[in-house]
Amino acid sequence: MGETISSLQGKSFLAEIDFTAEELLYFLDLAADLKAKKKNGIPHRYLEGKNIALLFEKTSTRTRCAFTVACTDLGAHPEYLGKGDIQLGKKESVEDTAKVLGRMFDGIEFRGFAHKTVRSLAENSGVPVWNGLTDMWHPTQTLADLLTIREHIGHLRNVKLVYVGDGRNNIANSLLVGGSIVGMEVRICAPKSLWPAQEVIYLAQKFSDRVMVTSSIDEAVAGTDVIYTDVWVSMGEEDKFAERIELLSPYQVNMQMIKKTGNDDVIFLHCLPAFHDLETMYGKEIYEKHGLREMEVTDEVFRSKHSKVFEQAENRLHTIKAVLAATLGNME
Ligand code: CP
Ligand code: NVA
């Protein structure tokens, strides 16, 4: 694979809805190719000499490391700019910051709160901008999820994926829309107060007539190929633990839920980080206050044969690399 699709060159990667099924699948094919190249020690320095800004308003392990390693493997220089490092939004507007960064960097990654920030960076910088997570969407995660599903199931069309938990967060939104674009049957299973916004459901329904949003676990998980969950409390909502525990405890992914699928080969995915034991500060605090040893997924499921979460985490690298190469790379 040495060519890119011309529609992607110079384009920002802000949300799945901005891309066709063909383009999303192209990113996956390119990611698979780059993964094989990396494993076989074949150089793929398509971004030789480029400089990339990595802006993080929120913390990150996978996204930051994936962008950093992807840049390095592609021959580019990544520059990490954390919350306290630049003026963004405090002393200088997003628009002005974008104009400055665009004159120095060849591309910008942004992780943060408001989706309008990443949009403004894209509108004003004049260089490709990649969304490393906002409150609304997490599209580079979706690509890793789709690649992992395709590696295990062999295809995406008609694959049934149930997302269980906080059905209106960035991961749920992205899976609902991104999965529907590529022809999957996406089901969101959550208490009614945590259902996706109607406008997000409408976006998915443009691509699929099999979108399901339900509070019934039995209805959602029957015959599914993939069960996906995420944290009950996303970054920036840390005051909501008590309320979410109350609402979402019945939606914990446990062996009983896995059995209800009736599919012994069902795969379990989670974008990570996950609360599946007491080995974290938050995990310990929740145990002391609420008596829960595990939250959105049990340790048993997390460590079971169904769980592909670490392959999924590794695929963040290969898929992010594909996005960088396709939108900014010289792949002649
Ligand atoms: N899944 C994910 O985005 O992980 P990080 O928050 O560690 O980047
Ligand atoms: N919904 C989570 C995803 C983390 C990768 C959050 O926004 O914190």
Q: How far is the CA of 132 from the centre of ligand 1 (A)?
A: 9
Confidence of residue 177 (pLDDT cuts 50, 70, 90): very high
Peptide bond into 191 cis (omega under 30): no
> What is the atom index within ligand 2 of the atom nearest the CA of 171?
1
Question: At residue 198, what are phi and psi to the nearest 5 degrees?
Answer: -55, -35
Residue 331 has a pLDDT of: 84
Q: Do 73 and 200 sit in the same domain of this protein?
A: no
Q: Is 264 a catalytic residue?
A: no
Q: Do 299 and 211 sit in the same domain of this protein?
A: yes
Domain presence at residue 147: no
**pLDDT beyond 90 at 293:** yes
Pick from 130, 104, 139, 118: nearest CA to 13: 130
Enclosing domain of residue 242: 160-224+226-265+267-305
Query: What tokens appear for 281 in the block?
Result: 């500060």
Query: Binding residue per annotation — 142?
Result: no
pLDDT in tens, 33-63: 999 999 999 999 999 999 999 999 999 999 9
Domain presence at residue 273: yes
Q: How far is the CA of 200 from the centre of ligand 1 (A)?
A: 22
Cα angle 59, 133, 32; round to 5: 105
Report the b/e string of 104-134 with b at 16+ CB within 10 A.
ebbbbbbbbbebebbbbbbebbebbbbbbbb
**pLDDT beyond 90 at 291:** yes
- Note whether 252 and 296 are within 8 A (CB): yes
Number of H helices, E strands in the chain: 13, 9
Q: Is 230 a catalytic residue?
A: yes
Domain presence at residue 261: yes
Domain presence at residue 130: yes
pLDDT in tens, 1-35: 655 688 999 999 999 999 999 999 999 999 999 99
Whether the pTM exceeds 0.95: the reply is yes
pLDDT in tens, 180-190: 999 999 999 99
Q: Do 86 and 215 sit in the same domain of this protein?
A: no
Which of the listed residues 133, 142, 143 should we mutate to test ligand 1's pocket, taking the one with most ligand atoms within 8 A of CB?
Answer: 133
| Share of residues in the chain with pLDDT > 90 (%) | 95
- Note whether 11 and 328 are within 8 A (CB): no
Mean pLDDT computed over 295-307: 98
Residue 332 has a pLDDT of: 76
Number of the ligand closest to the Cα of 271 = 1
The number of distinct structural domains making up the chain is 2
Residue 209 has a pLDDT of: 98
DSSP 197-236: PHHHHHHHHTT-S--EEES-HHHHHTT-SEEEE--SS-TT
Q: Do 166 and 203 sit in the same domain of this protein?
A: yes
Within 8 A by CB and 6+ apart from 199, the residues are none
Residue 229 pairs in a beta bridge with 164, 270
